[in-house]
Structure 1
Amino acid sequence: MSVSTETVKVVVVDDQTLFRSGLALLLGEDSRIQVVGQAGNGLAAIDLISSLKPDVILMDVKMPELDGIEATRRIVAANPDVKVLILTTFDTESSILHALQAGASGYVLKDSRADAIVSSILAVMAGERVMASSVAARVLDMLTGTSTRNEFYDGLTPREIEVLQLLASGMANKQIAYKLRISEKTVRNHVSNMYEKLHIFDRAQAVLYAVRKGLIDL
């Protein structure tokens, strides 16, 4: 279809009713967009597709019953002409990576202006992939093989990443040592090396880094 002469049919999927309804109203003010439906989870979104035949789905990530990533995977597999834009609160590399691997055409942040979201919708309808941040660019580097896992995690070794994940989840050094079957001194060495590479100084900063990289969920 030509997005310049026809309205784009959109379904908004988010488990937060106020956000979903408010976004639908804002998008509906643009003559190029027609919000044809809303859903509160991934399963409901899948059920709507056959009857509403949307062009674009704005999809939240964390929802009950079926999350946005798995819903995107199923929708794109069964309906290759439907474009999915992931809605995210935090632009963690991990969530964006999983979304793109599931077949999403890109993502928009929930605090984006309505006109920016409209532009993103029109862009994916024109066959573009919407990537709006340096974080997304790094994820695309990983997908195309131009960035290694080591670079993605700022030079951390696989073992240091493992220690970071356990540390950020609340484990003490002794617990980490027991779980990984290494000495507590070795754990301390890994933590020290990790702090130096990441230029951080305490566990609170380690937790923030782990969340940003998608290693843990809060």
Structure 2
Amino acid sequence: MDLTPFLHSDPDSLADEALLSVCVSGRIALAMKGRFFLRCFCESFGQRSLIGCAVTDEDTCLHYLEQQPFELLLCTDRLEQGTGYDLVRQAKQKQPGLKVVVLALNDAIPVEYDNAAWLEAVVAEVDIFENRKPLEAAILAVMGHHSYRSPSLRSGQLPYLSCPRLTPREYEVLDRLAQGMTDKEIAEDLVVSEQTSRTYTKRLLRTLEVNNRVQAVLKGMRCGMVQI
């Protein structure tokens, strides 16, 4: 899936609060598993015009990297085709100065890649639940030519995760968030007003005790409530 051509034509926002507030001046490449992650991370950067690649597979991302220089690559370890780690290895060969941050949906780094010089920053999925903004810390680190591992990767211990009980309506909203739907799309699908859809989402975030939709979906995945 390649959402790059639609970056500047889709005004709908998925984010309740910005997932990222760091400033990146160069071109950004995103390679994420699924539409949900792509849309959320696209919305996380204030200057969406800097995003020159928003795809879900390894080969398409490498194609974009061959066309022009990029400053930052943000990817998930799992992709719809290929893997984030193989993508990073090849991307660094094509553009040695590229800064890279990997979001580890598996909460671990494969042994064969753990000490690789080209793997600059990795953030475990579980650490995003906490209000420590590890993705921002990772980007700031690589922009300053430093390496980074999020807290659970450094300690080797996963934080405790409580899984609350959702109402049937909250399950419906969570499932649609995981599909990458906007408030407007959720409203149309549930046959309610857009304002009601926003209210449902806010209630879901409170129940899950998270701050934004990315955290909600990731926590829902870990608790077995939803799949992407």
1:84 and 1:69 map into 2 onto residues whose CA distance is 10
Q: Give the helix-richer structure, 1 or 2.
A: 1
Encode CA deviations 1:131-173: one digit per residue, 9 max, x unaligned.
22253366xxxxxxxxxxxxxxxxxxxxxxxxxxxxxxxxxxx
1:88 touches 1:108 (CA, 8 Å); kept in 2? Answer: yes
Aligned partner of 1:85: which letter?
Answer: V
Q: Which has the larger radius of gyration?
A: 1
1:99 and 1:16 map into 2 onto residues whose CA distance is 25
Aligned partner of 2:118: which letter?
Answer: G
Count of equivalent residues: 132
Aligned partner of 2:75: which letter?
Answer: M
Shift of 1:122: 2.5
1:72 touches 1:99 (CA, 8 Å); kept in 2? Answer: no
Residue 35 of structure 1, aligned match among 40, 51, 58: 51
Q: How does 1:71-86 map to 2 (within 5 A)?
A: 71-86=87-102
1:12 touches 1:38 (CA, 8 Å); kept in 2? Answer: yes
Shift of 1:93: 4.4
Distance 1:91 1:25, change over 3 A: same
Provide the aligned C-alpha RMSD in A: 3.1
Residue 64 of structure 2, aligned match among 43, 48, 57: 48
Structure 1 unaligned regions, length at least 5: 139-218
Distance 1:8 1:114, change over 3 A: farther
Distance 1:59 1:100, change over 3 A: farther
Aligned partner of 2:122: which letter?
Answer: Y
Encode CA deviations 1:80-132: one digit per residue, 9 max, x unaligned.
1112211112322436x526527121112346269542332132011010122
Distance 1:101 1:32, change over 3 A: same
Residue 121 of structure 1, aligned match among 139, 156, 164: 139
Compare relative contact order (CA 8 Å, sep 6+) and give the higher one, 1 or 2: 2
* Bigger mean CA offset, 85-94 vs 42-51: 85-94
Q: Secondary structure at the match of 1:107?
A: strand
Q: How does 1:172-211 map to 2 (within 5 A)?
A: none
